[in-house]
Amino acid sequence: MSDTRQENMATEETLQEGEAPEVDLTADAPLDEVDALRIERDELKDRLLRTLAESENVRKRAERDRRESERYGGTRIVRDLLPVYDNLRRALDSAGEAAGDADRALMEGVELTLRELLKVLTKHGVTPIVPEVGDQFDPQSHEAMFEAPVPGTKAGEILQVMAEGFLLHDRLVRPAQVGVSSNPG
- CA angle 126/130/132 to nearest 5° reads 170
What pLDDT sits at residue 146?
93
Global pTM value? 0.66
CA angle 164, 98, 92 (to 5 degrees): 25
Q: Is 169 in a helix, a strand, or coil? A: coil
**Under a CB-based contact definition with an 8 Å cutoff, are residues 104 and 92 in contact?**
no
Question: Which residues make Cβ contacts (< 8 Å) with residue 141, sequence separation at least 6?
Answer: 129, 131, 165, 167, 172, 175, 176
Q: How far is CA 77 from CA 80, 121, 126, 128, in A?
A: 5, 10, 11, 15
Q: Is 10 helix (H, G, I), strand (E, B) or coil?
A: helix
Q: How would you classify residue 126: left for phi > 0, otherwise alpha for psi between -120 and 50, otherwise beta?
A: beta
- Tell me, what amino acid is at 96? G
What is the C-alpha separation between 66 and 91, in angstroms, rounded?
39
pLDDT of residue 28: 56
pLDDT tens for residues 97-141? Answer: 666 667 888 888 899 999 999 999 999 999 999 999 999 999 999
pLDDT less than 50: residues of the chain: 1, 11, 14-15, 18, 20, 26
User: 163: which DSSP letter?
Assistant: E
Biggest alpha carbon–alpha carbon distance for the chain? 125
Fold of 125-185: Nucleotide Exchange Factor Grpe; Chain A, domain 2 (2.30.22)
* Angstrom distance (rounded) from CA 93 to CA 107: 10
The mean of the pLDDT values for the chain is 85
